[in-house]
Amino acid sequence: MADFVQNVFDLIAAKNLEKEKSIGLTKKVTLDLSTKSKEIDNHRASDLFMAARDFAGNHIQQFINSNPDYKWYKIEYTHPCFDHFSFKYKNQIFSILVDIRNPDGKSFLPPEFLKRQLNEAEKNNLVPCVFPVVIDNPDDPALNTIKIVGDGINLFHTVKKTPIIPEDIGTDEKILMSHWEKHNYAIMQARLVLKEKGVKVVSFQDIPVVNPQLWMLNDVGEKCWVVVRYYTGTKEATITPEEITEITRRCFKFNGYFCSVGLNPSKNTKEKYLYRNASMDVTFNGFRPIHTYM
């Protein structure tokens, strides 16, 4: 943290900070991270990992092709993340980490990845899984060097280490959508709107406590960030001045927007709550500027 504490605002950032202080938006415990803004959205996964992830996705795709109850939930690679992709089988969502191992069985999956996945799985009613693969020659990421460890769908419970068979877990019972599912769905709706407008989304992430959710290119090719919030009922989602201050401090050198998305059970049903696999009505409230870099 020492390097963060030593960060210094440039002239414009300093003026912005003084303005925030004058209207009482800052807290003494908030660190100035604005000079790190140029490093944001900089992550690139290794070729080896992406080859293993593609291999796992192609393997699971066979099951999705053969059974309509299998559906991808999230297939895009995002950073940061708590899993590498996820799919649904009936009313269950399977959160998957690709577990790369050497021929001796040693796993290269960092313990903090497992902890992060388990934390989100517990909060959002997900089935935490690993998809283990053995790579004979880690220096050569060609697909023919990658092999599954088990059989069938090759999924194992992250904690219990036992094989996961989705058909034995998924049912037709109603299950409420979790906070993460609604958050993820709202982000997907924002991405769809941007795509329809011809706006390029550079990247996105869907960990609820991490902001912003989207990075996009504006009409002159500049990167901008978007905070996405969902709401249920009729009261539109908002963002507080303190939240804007915290996010702006990290993303100061880019323009920022706020997007509010309403999610409610379809009026064609009698449901009062949002359930997995049920239809819903979506209200999109546009992109509102909340920070402009000059």
**Final residue of a structural domain among 168, 190, 215:** 168
Are the C-beta atoms of 99 and 132 separated by less than 8 Å? yes
Confidence class of residue 10 from pLDDT cuts 50, 70 and 90?
very low
Residues 111 and 190 in one domain: no
Residue 246 lies in a domain: yes
**36 domain-assigned:** no
**CA distance linking residue 97 with residue 127, whole number of Å:** 11
Domain presence at residue 228: yes
Q: Which of 22-26, 42-46, 224-228, 261-265 has the lowest mean pLDDT?
A: 22-26
Instruction: Determine the Cα–Cα distance for residues 257 and 291; give it in Å rounded to an integer.
Output: 7
Task: Tell whether 157 and 240 lie within a shared domain.
Answer: no
Examine the domain organization and report whether 83 and 186 are in the same domain: no
Cα–Cα distance, 95 to 156 (Å, whole number): 11
Model confidence at 171, in pLDDT bands (50, 70, 90)? very high
> Which CATH number is 140's domain given?
3.40.1350
128 with 55, same domain: the answer is: yes
Is residue 25 one of the residues assigned to a domain?
no
Question: Are residues 195 and 128 both part of a single domain?
Answer: no
What is the pLDDT at residue 37? 59
Q: Does 215 lie in the same domain as 130? A: no
Q: Report pLDDT digits (tens) over 185-244.
A: 999 999 999 999 999 999 999 999 999 999 999 999 999 999 999 999 999 999 999 999
Of 147, 168, 189, the residue that ends a domain is 168
Average pLDDT over residues 155-184: 98
Reading across the β-sheet that carries 255-265, which strands appear in turn? 201-204, 214-217, 223-231, 255-265, 280-291
State yes or no: pLDDT of 19 exceeds 80.
no
Phi-psi sector, 105: left (phi>0), alpha (psi -120 to 50), beta: left
Q: With bands split at pLDDT 50, 70 and 90, how would you rate the model's confidence at 180?
A: very high
Neighbours of 232 (CB within 10 A): 15
Asked if residue 273 and residue 209 are part of one domain, the reply reads yes
Q: Is residue 205 part of a domain?
A: yes
Query: Based on the domain organization, do 159 and 187 belong to the same domain?
Result: no
pLDDT of residue 143: 53
Structure confidence at residue 5 (pLDDT): 28
Q: 121 and 227 share a domain?
A: no
Query: Can you give the pLDDT at residue 145?
Result: 83
* 163: exposed, middle or buried (Cβ count in 10 Å: 0-12, 13-18, 19+): middle
Would you say residue 14 lies in a domain? no
- Inform me whether the pLDDT recorded for 8 exceeds 80: no
Lowest average pLDDT, out of 60-69, 144-153, 260-269, goes to: 144-153
Percent of the chain at pLDDT above 90?
77
- Indicate if the alpha-carbon torsion angle 57, 193, 290, 124 is positive or negative: negative
Are residues 256 and 280 part of one domain? yes
Q: Could you tell me the maximum CA-CA distance found in the chain, to the nearest angstrom?
A: 63
Instruction: Check whether residue 51 and residue 162 sit in a common domain.
Output: yes
> What is the rounded CA–CA span in Å between residue 268 and residue 279?
9
For residue 70, the enclosing domain spans 47-168
Q: Is there a domain that residue 31 lies in? A: no
Least confident of 2-16, 83-97, 256-270: 2-16
Q: Within its chain, how far is the Cα of 260 from the centroid?
A: 17
3-state secondary structure of 197: coil
Which among 135, 168, 201 is the end of a domain? 168
Q: Is the pLDDT of residue 91 over 70?
A: yes
Number of structural domains (the chain) is 2
Same domain? 155 vs 198: no
Establish if 196 belongs to a structural domain.
yes
Phi-psi region of 169 (alpha: psi -120 to 50; beta: other; left: phi over 0): alpha
Whichever domain contains 209, its CATH number is: 3.40.1350.10
